[in-house]
């Protein structure tokens, strides 16, 4: 009898455990996904709460997108619910080839784009129209109808290791772009008179391979408005831009050491020019007759200013003389009638012939201007 009772008891407990486990199993969904559950309601307080198997109804409440997670919500009629994240989808990448920009059409670099609808992801980047990239067919561009400009003339150096630009060649355009590399070798110099009297050209761009601009290279290019000198040019030869009367925009490269005699003589449209810090000497008459030039700052590396360097620069009002200048030759500022202020960064030790210029006089900018352009304009200034 006692044994019977024990068996009954065991069965009863066993049954109870099984039922209990079944209750949990019905909510297994909930526990199995615990890791990704992002929210969960409080246990329902209504009557159903502790005596029914949840009946989970699954619904996507926020779609997953390429770069954002979605939300899946499980809810039971009892009012209890929980939500689970849906992994983000990642982009559906498709790759595209790049396209060169031409004279009439913009191009693009190789790029990728997401094909999933609604996604804006792309690495597309436009390349501006390249006005030099023509589609030549018998020397006429099939796209923009431009006629081919022809080629500048390049000649191999005596040593055979670089090229010089020696002339306009068959080039018939207006904007000269000197090639940095010609037939596999660098182009290093612009030869003597290479572009002398080339009246058609309006712009010249000198690449960074060029180290020297030869004598009279752009002599009297009547329509040259713009000259961009590369940053490796160290010498601008004598009369290099002599009488380029329309030259307005001049960028002197950052390595120029010598500006030759009369290099910019009578460049009458030049209103301003920034001289580089590399500059050491300014040749004779270098900016003579630059009637429009308003101010000039001579850097701290410049040691000598040649005679007539700025003579007859009638509009010149302001000059700064750098701290290393030791020599200002006679007539350098002759007929600079409007010179109002000259700042000598080094006021010490200046003599003009037998006259010692007083430091305090040079510290007075207008007196210094008067000395330089009037009183002692015909004598060489030397600093000891
Ligand atoms: Zn429920
Ligand atoms: Zn996408
Ligand atoms: Zn074209």
pLDDT tens per residue, range 258-291 = 999 999 999 999 999 999 999 999 999 999 999 9
The pTM (predicted TM-score) of the whole model is: 0.65
Q: Assess whether 63 and 125 both reside in one domain.
A: no
Cα of 195 vs centre of ligand 3, distance in Å, is 25
Cα of 14 vs centre of ligand 1, distance in Å, is 26
User: How much is the pLDDT for 42?
Assistant: 64
| Ligand approaching nearest to the C-alpha of 146 | 3
Q: Assess whether 98 and 121 both reside in one domain.
A: yes
Domains held by the chain: number: 2
| Ligand approaching nearest to the C-alpha of 122 | 2
Cα of 87 vs centre of ligand 2, distance in Å, is 14
**pLDDT class of 46 with cuts at 50, 70, 90:** low
pLDDT tens per residue, range 9-24 = 555 554 444 444 444 4
Say whether pLDDT at 27 is over 60: no
177 occurs within a structural domain:
no
Work out the average pLDDT over 199-226: 97
What is the dihedral angle through the alpha carbons of 99, 102, 105, 108, rounded to the nearest 10 degrees? Answer: 30
Chain centroid to CA 199: how far?
A: 31
Say whether pLDDT at 8 is over 60: no
Percentages (nearest 5) of helix, strand, coil residues in the chain: 10, 25, 60
Cα of 21 vs centre of ligand 3, distance in Å, is 81
Chain centroid to CA 310: how far?
A: 34
Say whether pLDDT at 182 is over 60: yes
Q: Assess whether 73 and 98 both reside in one domain.
A: no
Cα of 40 vs centre of ligand 1, distance in Å, is 13
What is the dihedral angle through the alpha carbons of 326, 329, 332, 334, rounded to the nearest 10 degrees? Answer: 130
Q: Which of 8-12, 161-165, 304-308, 362-366 has the lowest mean pLDDT?
A: 8-12
Distance CA 8, CA 89 (A): 56
Cα of 92 vs centre of ligand 2, distance in Å, is 6
Q: Which residue has the tokens 């790049």?
A: 98
User: How much is the pLDDT for 50?
Assistant: 62
8 occurs within a structural domain:
yes
Q: Assess whether 95 and 36 both reside in one domain.
A: no
| Ligand approaching nearest to the C-alpha of 149 | 3
pLDDT tens per residue, range 120-171 = 999 999 999 998 889 988 888 999 998 887 889 999 999 999 999 999 998 9
**pLDDT class of 191 with cuts at 50, 70, 90:** very high
Cα of 41 vs centre of ligand 1, distance in Å, is 11
Cα of 72 vs centre of ligand 2, distance in Å, is 20
136 occurs within a structural domain:
yes
Cα of 73 vs centre of ligand 2, distance in Å, is 24
117 occurs within a structural domain:
yes
pLDDT over 70, % of the chain: 88
Domain that residue 97 falls in: 91-148
Work out the average pLDDT over 316-340: 97
Burial class for 302, CB neighbours closer than 10 Å (0-12, 13-18, 19+): buried
Distance CA 225, CA 97 (A): 40
Cα of 186 vs centre of ligand 3, distance in Å, is 27
Say whether pLDDT at 35 is over 70: no
User: How much is the pLDDT for 39?
Assistant: 74
Cα of 118 vs centre of ligand 2, distance in Å, is 8
């Amino acid at each position: 009898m006692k044994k019977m009772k024990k068996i009954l008891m065991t069965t009863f407990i066993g049954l109870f455990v099984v039922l209990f486990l079944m209750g949990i199993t019905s909510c297994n969904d909930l526990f199995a996904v615990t890791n990704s559950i992002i929210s969960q309601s409080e246990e329902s307080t209504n009557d159903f709460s502790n005596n029914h198997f949840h009946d989970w109804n699954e619904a996507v409440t926020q779609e997953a997108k390429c770069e954002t997670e979605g939300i899946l919500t499980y809810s039971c009629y009892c009012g209890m619910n929980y939500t689970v994240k849906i992994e983000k989808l990642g982009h559906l990448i498709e790759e595209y080839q790049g396209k060169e920009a031409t004279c009439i059409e913009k191009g693009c670099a190789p790029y990728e784009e997401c094909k999933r609808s609604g996604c804006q992801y792309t690495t597309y980047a436009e390349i501006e129209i390249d006005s030099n990239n023509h589609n030549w067919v018998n020397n006429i561009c099939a796209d923009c109808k431009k006629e081919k400009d022809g080629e500048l003339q390049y000649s191999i150096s005596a040593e055979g290791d670089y090229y010089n630009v020696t002339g306009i060649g068959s080039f018939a355009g207006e904007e000269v772009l000197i090639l940095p590399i010609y037939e596999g070798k660098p182009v290093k110099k612009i030869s003597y008179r290479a572009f002398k009297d080339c009246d058609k050209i309006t712009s010249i761009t000198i690449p960074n391979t060029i180290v020297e601009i030869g004598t009279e290279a752009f002599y009297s290019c009547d329509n040259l408005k713009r000259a961009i000198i590369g940053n490796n040019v160290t010498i601008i030869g004598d009369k290099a831009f002599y009488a380029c009367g329309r030259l307005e925009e001049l960028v002197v490269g950052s390595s120029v050491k010598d500006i030759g005699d009369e290099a910019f003589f009578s460049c009458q449209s030049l209103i301003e020019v920034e001289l580089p810090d590399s500059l050491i000497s300014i040749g004779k008459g270098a900016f003579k007759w630059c009637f429009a030039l308003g101010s000039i700052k001579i850097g701290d590396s410049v040691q000598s200013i040649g005679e007539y360097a700025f003579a007859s620069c009638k509009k010149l009002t302001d000059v700064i003389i750098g701290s290393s200048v030791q020599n200002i030759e006679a007539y350098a500022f002759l007929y600079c009638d409007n010179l109002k202020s000259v700042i000598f960064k080094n006021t010490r030790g200046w003599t003009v012939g037998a006259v010692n210029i007083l430091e305090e006089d040079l510290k007075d900018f207008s007196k210094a201007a008067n000395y330089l352009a009037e009183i002692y304009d015909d004598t060489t200034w030397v600093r000891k």
